Amino acid sequence: MSVKFYNDNAESFFNNTVNADMSSTYNIFEENLSDKTGEILDLGCGSGRDAKHFIDAGFKVTALDLSPILAAKASEYIGQEVIVANMKDLDFSDKFIGIWACASLLHLTEDEVLETLKRCHKALKKDGTMYVSFKYGETNFEKDGRIFTCFTRDKFLNLIEGLDFYYRATFETGDVRPGRENEKWLNVILKKK
């Protein structure tokens, strides 16, 4: 299971991701927020890099991660508690202006991605914004005990066809971690109807 990888490699994962520059993606997400004063959920917060950015930008943030070891490191980094929980069990209603799921839903199966997106929809306020990212491609794979569910734009839009989200944008980016620029990511912005 993916959580074992993150528990076993928490230190190196934290160090490899905490300083990655996500500023251009933050800008796109924040431009799509209908309310600039509400609360953001960082779903699968990892090192806490993104939660810290949103806190520093003046947002209230709830951060969640499945790995207790990584969550402890992220808590220390962002200066507030990170909830240790499984995103598949997400149970909020009408709470967040935005949900940020950067490279976190990709460890779920396609069915689990769909079910988790339904839970995210419920957790968002009306007109709430969701950001998700996946490794770009048609073919899912497994590496180091982690599954990776990959999407192209069309494959993702087909998956969410029945959900009450407005599709706002997709864009492709290279990996922002040094030495991994050739790895491509699909980034998606959705709005709750």
CA angle 64, 167, 19 (to 5 degrees): 40
Q: Output the tens digit of pLDDT for each of the chain's 193 residues.
A: 465 655 555 455 555 655 667 889 999 999 999 888 899 999 999 889 999 999 999 999 999 999 898 899 999 999 999 999 999 999 999 999 999 999 999 989 999 999 999 999 999 999 999 999 999 999 998 887 778 899 999 999 999 999 999 889 999 877 665 666 667 889 999 999 8
**Distance of CA 40 to CAs 17, 58, 96, 175, Å?**
20, 11, 5, 23
Is the full-model pTM beyond 0.75? yes
Closest CA to 64 of 184, 126, 78: 78
CB of 47 within 8 A of CB of 74? Answer: yes
Counting Cα atoms < 13 Å in the Cβ hemisphere of 138 gives: 1
Non-local CB neighbours of 129 within 8 Å, separated by 6+ positions? 29, 32, 33, 34, 97, 98, 99, 168, 189, 190, 191, 192
CA angle 16, 22, 26 (to 5 degrees): 145
d(C-alpha 162, C-alpha 178), whole Å:
38
For residue 152 the two structure tokens come to 């192209």
